[in-house]
Amino acid sequence: MRKLDIVFEDKYLIVVNKPAKLLTIATNKNKEHNLYAEVYDYLHKKNQKVFIVNRLDKDTSGLVIFAKSEKIKDLMQNNWNYVIRKYYAIVDGIVEKGGVVQSYLKETKTLLTYSTRDKSGKYAKTIYNPLFHNNNYSLLDIEIKTGRKNQIRVHMQDIGHSILGDRKYGFIKSNRMYLHAYYLEFKHPITAELIKLEIKIPKEFNRIINCN
Amino acid occupying residue 115: S
Phi-psi region of 111 (alpha: psi -120 to 50; beta: other; left: phi over 0): left
Alpha carbons 174 and 107: distance in angstroms, whole number:
25
Confidence band for 2, pLDDT divided at 50, 70 and 90: confident
Q: Which domains does the chain have, with CATH numbers?
A: 6-211 (3.30.2350.10)
Alpha carbons 127 and 140: distance in angstroms, whole number:
10
Catalytic positions, please? 57
* CB-based contact 98:89 (threshold 8 Å): no
| pLDDT tens, position by position, 48-67 | 999 999 999 999 999 999 99
Alpha carbons 49 and 51: distance in angstroms, whole number:
7
| pLDDT tens, position by position, 23-50 | 999 876 666 789 999 999 999 999 999 9
Q: The whole model's pTM is what? A: 0.92
Alpha carbons 13 and 73: distance in angstroms, whole number:
9
Amino acid occupying residue 94: I
